[in-house]
Amino acid sequence: MRATFGLIGKTAMALVLATSIGAGALTVGSTAAFAAEKKPKEVKAAYSKEFITAAGPIQKTVTALDEAKKKGATPEAQKALLASAGAELAAAEATISTPLDRMAAGGWAVSIGGVLNDIGMRQRGMKNMLDSGMVPEASVNDYQFYLGNFAYSNKDFPVAIAALTTVVQANYKDDTAAELLADSYSQQGQNAQALDALRNALTMRKAAGGVVPEAWFKRANVIAYKNRLGPQAIEWSTMMVENDPTALNWLGAAQLVREFGTFTNQESLDLGRLLLRSGGFQNDPKYVEREYIEYIEAADPRRFPGEVLKVAEIGVKAGVLRANDPFVADAMAQSKGRIAADKASLPALDREARAGKDGRSAVAMADAYLSYDEPAKAEEMYKMAIEKGNIDKDRALTRLGIAQVDQDKFADAKATFAQVGGARGSLARLWSAFATTQARP
């Protein structure tokens, strides 16, 4: 059967990508007051004579700037005071020879760079402060984070990666650190490393008993999806929906599994069943209309009339499908005309399935029971079919797991889904994630 609906151009995954973090780069936070808030490590140190001489002009300029700030000078007036600051700072930096020289020059660069909005200057200053060895140990990760921030904004991605890697490994408090690190890798075309960075951040956060932010999953999905990394896109979307099982996340994950999989109608049928049970259909009609059609086509009123009628009626009631649409009307009419005879044939088919030498009749009987919402009978028949053999075992295991989910046997279902391989492996993992979410209190 063919649907009369046109293909929907914008999928739910596209919506997730568009609304989660946007198409542009990450936003780096302001650190204008950063240098003033941190005190250097208490160590015996001294300025070099050369630095004291060379730093005189920049120190005088910084003092004038501080006085102007206290008097409420406008940003424009502050910038005017710094007309020669760049050259003065460079002269002082050229004479650095002690840790204290480097710490002082770095602090000036961060402060002046903030007024001038010179990210390169701020990056250089933060690097000097860290290289001085005078940053208090408890503040090193803060300084590294800001260095990574500045380097990222300055598109100096190698420096951003070096700075942020240690920060993320330390399970840094600012969630943006992991995203900045991942995007720094991605900007250089190192997308696998970007996803590894987010995975490491996730591992560290979970090990510390913390909450993994949804933004990390979304960032990983963006990277994997845009770069056509199918297995990783499926993996991260599955983890995201397990972490945050919203209707939109379920729809997006299901669409990714189909897009990067090799599905026939049989796999599409079980994907539709997942969308129905998970709430994935409870989205804007323009995102789920095609999904309803896919489900109805895969179920086929000639094979599973009861299930087709149920799904079509749900779609009509939700305002997604129109009862007078030729495709919908035909599917419903065919289903209504077949249900009575189909149900009447079940007892004889059940006896035939039990007497069969292989599992083919049993799996067909199990499919019928599952389509009529009789999961206990379906579970029994799928187990019988698997034991007798000569069937598509991965398909039978998938549907056995579905029957177990329908009976709230979530641990059994997850164990069953774990046995599924081949083209159905990613679909089974998504079903397993659903079982996990349903098992929660």
CA-angle at 212, arms to 207 and 216, nearest 5°: 125
Residue reference for tokens 């019928």: 368
Encode the chain (441 residues) as per-residue pLDDT tens digits: 333 222 222 343 333 333 332 333 343 333 333 444 455 555 557 999 999 999 999 999 999 999 999 999 999 999 999 999 999 999 999 999 999 999 999 999 999 999 999 999 999 999 999 999 999 999 999 999 999 999 999 999 999 999 999 999 999 999 999 999 999 999 999 999 999 999 999 999 999 999 999 999 999 999 999 999 999 999 999 999 999 999 999 999 999 999 999 999 999 999 999 999 999 999 999 999 999 999 999 999 999 999 999 999 999 999 999 999 999 999 999 999 999 999 999 999 999 999 999 999 999 999 999 999 999 999 999 999 999 999 999 999 999 999 999 999 999 999 999 999 999 999 999 999 999 999 998
Phi and psi at 244, nearest 5°, equal: -140, 85
Computed from CA positions of residues 135, 137, 143, 144, in that sequence, does the dihedral angle turn out positive or negative?
A: positive
H-run or E-run covering 348 = helix 346-355
Amino acid at 142: D
* Residue 17: predicted pLDDT: 33
H-run or E-run covering 44 = none
Reported pTM: 0.82
Q: How distant is the alpha carbon of residue 64 from its chain centre?
A: 48
Q: Report DSSP state, residue 138.
A: G
Q: Report DSSP state, residue 358.
A: S
Q: How distant is the alpha carbon of residue 422 from its chain centre?
A: 24
What is the largest distance, in Å, between two alpha-carbon atoms of the chain?
102
Contact in structure between 406 and 375 (CB atoms under 8 Å):
yes
Nearest CA to 268 among 245, 293, 289, 288?
A: 293
* Residue 41: predicted pLDDT: 53
CA-CA distance, 349 to 351, in Å (whole number)? Answer: 5
Q: How distant is the alpha carbon of residue 111 from its chain centre?
A: 36
CA-CA distance, 303 to 342, in Å (whole number)? Answer: 9
Residue reference for tokens 């845009």: 226
- Following DSSP, what letter does each residue of 359-385 receive, concatenated? SHHHHHHHHHHHHTT-HHHHHHHHHHH
* Residue 323: predicted pLDDT: 97
Residue reference for tokens 């009369």: 4
